[in-house]
């Protein structure tokens, strides 16, 4: 009787958390429709702009903060404050009358953050109307679909918020302009670039030009349950741990059966989430210039086999659920049914809201390479914009310390500005938070050619086959390589 009651309660708790998890997953992409409605599969899209729920609590309290100096002792605060937008060379006069239209997307937290930034901008430019086409979706595919159809329908915005997954597509289609001149002619542009890790700027470089200004980003780290590690007398993972260490740890954590089953590791089963397995093996799914499939690389097979075996050979990971959108890992992890899993920064708010704090983060275990992945979100200016200088001024506000600080407080993505990411607010939890921004040193961007949607879909479809044992890793990758090669050839041939 008792157990039954407890079970039911457990189930309810899990279900509640899943609701949060579901939104969390959104960050990438897979979400089911209510909030999200998801096309592709994985929370992949999310990469750059993962936006779980929001912090309803955090947002309101954050509001009265503007006056205080953002806690960032490191970088030159003087430069930032000394260069008010209107002072920049070529900035439109404060009495300019215009309408600026924006395409952006995300969750509720983002909406609030953007709205606050717009309000600050309007203090400088009171006659400017901002038309915010905020799309409450959480997958990159959905958003790119919306942008494409709107643009096709003749509605071109001035400013577009795009994650790296879509950058090459919009550049290729000539939808946005390079921003190098704006950056180099504007002191606050230079200050901004100086405060952002080069890896994030490089993510938006195509043909040597910078096309977007980063606002936030995400990576993949291992989350581990500190209480479970302690109870099982397992030392916390070291920064330099290997795949072997990881597997040994996962085996130790895997216990029980039926209702009491606990798994060592929940596989983050989405495009972005699977990338670290390739990177830490010193390979990737596409060739380094992202022009061709690299799935026939034996190292890719080794990586995929390792992931496959976690479920089917070592049995330290639960089945991955097709391509469905619920972040089961988040539910299981918070319920103490998973010792470890992998995410970017996005699930932390959800864990907090469910009062789950027994976790910390560590770098991905390495096989032959120590590296991680990053995806970035940023603002670009439309080629057809009639108000480009004004749009640039607004982008500066959208990437100002104040705005980025709000991003950090909302706790969803990792702020693009180093000064904020290294500030006390962002670092307060979990203990090892410094490695979020720190991981950028050796990190590689998620592969994002102009046909990203297709690459992601092909890869995840075959991974679904492989993980459900519908095909072996060898056969699955062989077929995937063939299909991906054809897709890449099609891209090259226009």
Binding site for other proteins (CB under 8 A): 7, 11, 14-15, 18, 22, 30, 32-34, 37-41, 141, 145, 148-149, 151-152, 173, 175, 258-259, 261, 263, 318-326, 328, 331-332, 335, 337, 451, 453-454, 457, 460-462, 464-465, 467-471
- Cα angle, residue 363 at apex, residues 357 and 367 outer, rounded to 5°: 140
DSSP 45: G
Q: Do residues 408 and 420 touch, judged by C-beta distance below 8 A?
A: yes
DSSP 366: B
Cβ proximity to other proteins, 15 vs 287, nearer residue: 15
Cβ proximity to other proteins, 23 vs 404, nearer residue: 23
d(CA 192, CA 416): 10
Cβ proximity to other proteins, 53 vs 280, nearer residue: 53
Grouping H, G, I as helix, E, B as strand and the rest as coil, residue 185 is coil
* CB burial string 297-319: b at 16+ within 10 A, e below: bebbbbbbbbbbebbbeeebbbe
- Shortest Cβ distance from residue 137 to other proteins (Å)? 12
DSSP 462: H
Cβ proximity to other proteins, 158 vs 465, nearer residue: 465
- Shortest Cβ distance from residue 34 to other proteins (Å)? 5
* CB burial string 83-111: b at 16+ within 10 A, e below: bebeebeebbeeebeeebbbbbbbbbbbb
Cβ proximity to other proteins, 22 vs 197, nearer residue: 22
Q: Would strands 414-415 and 359-362 be described as parallel, antiparallel, or unpaired? A: unpaired
- Shortest Cβ distance from residue 90 to other proteins (Å)? 30
Cβ proximity to other proteins, 92 vs 375, nearer residue: 375
Q: Do residues 449 and 285 touch, judged by C-beta distance below 8 A?
A: no
* CB burial string 386-419: b at 16+ within 10 A, e below: ebbebbbbbbbbbbbbbbbbbbbbbbbbbbbbbb
- Shortest Cβ distance from residue 115 to other proteins (Å)? 27
- Shortest Cβ distance from residue 326 to other proteins (Å)? 6
- Shortest Cβ distance from residue 41 to other proteins (Å)? 5
* CB burial string 123-145: b at 16+ within 10 A, e below: ebbeebebeebbbbbbbbbbbbe
Cβ proximity to other proteins, 3 vs 233, nearer residue: 3
- Shortest Cβ distance from residue 479 to other proteins (Å)? 10
- Shortest Cβ distance from residue 146 to other proteins (Å)? 10
Cβ proximity to other proteins, 148 vs 183, nearer residue: 148
Cβ proximity to other proteins, 32 vs 77, nearer residue: 32
Grouping H, G, I as helix, E, B as strand and the rest as coil, residue 183 is helix
Q: Would strands 359-362 and 209-210 be described as parallel, antiparallel, or unpaired? A: unpaired
- Shortest Cβ distance from residue 43 to other proteins (Å)? 12
Name the packing angle between helices 388-398 and 187-194 (round to 10°). Answer: 40
């Amino acid at each position: 009787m008792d157990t039954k009651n407890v079970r039911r309660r457990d189930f309810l708790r899990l279900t509640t958390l899943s609701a949060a998890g579901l939104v969390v997953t959104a960050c990438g992409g897979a979400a089911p429709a209510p909030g999200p409605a998801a096309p592709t599969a994985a929370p992949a899209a999310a990469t750059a702009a993962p936006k779980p729920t929001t912090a309803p609590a955090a947002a309101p309290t954050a509001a009265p903060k503007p006056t205080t100096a953002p806690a960032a002792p490191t970088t030159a605060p003087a430069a930032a404050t000394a260069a008010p937008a209107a002072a920049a060379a070529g900035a439109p006069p404060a009495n300019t009358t215009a309408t600026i239209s924006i395409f952006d997307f995300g969750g509720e937290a983002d909406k609030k953050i953007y709205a606050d930034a717009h309000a600050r901008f309007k203090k400088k430019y009171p006659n400017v109307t901002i038309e915010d086409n905020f799309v409450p979706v959480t997958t990159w595919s959905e958003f790119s679909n919306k942008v494409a159809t709107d643009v096709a329908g003749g509605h071109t915005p001035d400013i577009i918020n795009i994650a790296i997954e879509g950058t090459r597509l919009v550049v290729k289609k000539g939808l946005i302009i390079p921003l190098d001149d704006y950056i180099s002619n504007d002191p606050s542009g230079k200050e901004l670039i100086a405060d952002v890790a080069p890896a994030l700027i490089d993510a938006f470089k195509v043909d040597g030009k910078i096309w977007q200004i980063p606002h936030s980003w995400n990576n993949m780290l291992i989350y581990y349950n500190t209480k479970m590690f302690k109870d099982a007398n397992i030392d916390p993972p070291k920064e330099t741990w290997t795949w072997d260490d990881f597997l040994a740890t996962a085996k130790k954590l895997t216990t029980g059966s039926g209702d009491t089953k606990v798994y060592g590791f929940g596989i983050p089963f989405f495009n972005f989430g699977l990338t670290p397995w390739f990177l830490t093996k010193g390979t990737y799914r596409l060739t380094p210039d992202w022009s061709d499939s690299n799935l026939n690389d034996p190292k890719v097979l080794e990586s995929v086999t390792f992931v496959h075996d976690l479920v089917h050979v070592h049995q330290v990971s639960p089945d991955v659920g097709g391509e469905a959108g619920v972040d089961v890992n988040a539910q299981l992890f918070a319920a103490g049914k998973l010792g470890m899993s992998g995410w970017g920064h996005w699930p932390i708010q959800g864990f907090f809201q469910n009062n789950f704090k027994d976790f910390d983060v560590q770098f991905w275990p390495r096989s032959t390479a120590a590296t991680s992945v990053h995806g970035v979100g940023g603002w670009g200016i439309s080629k057809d914009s009639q108000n480009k200088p004004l749009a640039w001024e607004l982008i500066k506000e959208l990437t100002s310390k104040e705005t980025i600080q709000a991003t950090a407080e909302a706790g969803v993505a990792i702020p693009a500005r180093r000064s904020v990411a290294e500030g006390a607010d962002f670092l307060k939890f979990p203990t090892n938070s410094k490695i979020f921004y720190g991981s950028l040193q050796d990190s590689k961007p998620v592969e994002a050619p102009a046909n990203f949607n297709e690459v992601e879909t092909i890869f995840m479809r075959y991974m679904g086959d492989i993980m459900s044992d519908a095909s072996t890793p060898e056969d699955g990758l062989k077929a995937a390589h063939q299909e991906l090669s054809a897709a890449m050839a099609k891209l090259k041939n226009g």
